Amino acid sequence: MPIKITISNQESISDKDIKIIESSFSEIPLKEILIGLKFAKNRWRAKDAGTLKVGRKSIIQKEIHSVTPEQANWRLKNWKLMIANYRRRGYSYPTISRIKKVLLKISNKD
């Protein structure tokens, strides 16, 4: 039974977007679509409220992105200071440990 859905959005929707939506509704069971929409809605609300917690991998990538071996060595020599900074940012000890592990790899490349 065909269902008509109206989408009101401030952004313009391209024909390509409409085709993707139509193919998704024809291929994916409705229950799965609703689960995905609920997840997306909750994620959007958390992001909008500023309470969305970034995943551990992206936190680690953010912290070690473009760190030179010299910077990695300095961070490891001043590790207690770094731990205090990471804890102030709300990082868990397992996350801090993973950051240290990557910094050790970077410093050993020297």
Instruction: Tell me if 23 is assigned to some domain.
Output: yes
Q: Coil, helix or strand for 102? A: helix
Total domains present in the chain: 2
What is the domain extent for residue 28? 15-49
pLDDT at 2: 74
pTM (two decimals): 0.51
Q: Is the CB of residue 56 less than 8 Å from the CB of residue 95?
A: yes
Print pLDDT tens along the chain (110 aa): 677 888 777 788 888 988 998 899 899 999 999 999 999 998 888 777 766 666 667 788 888 888 999 999 999 999 999 999 999 988 889 989 999 999 999 999 75
Retrieve residue 34's tokens: 């609703």
Spell out the SS3 assignment of 2-20. Answer: CCCCCCCCCCCCCHHHHHH
Q: Are residues 69 and 100 in the same domain?
A: yes
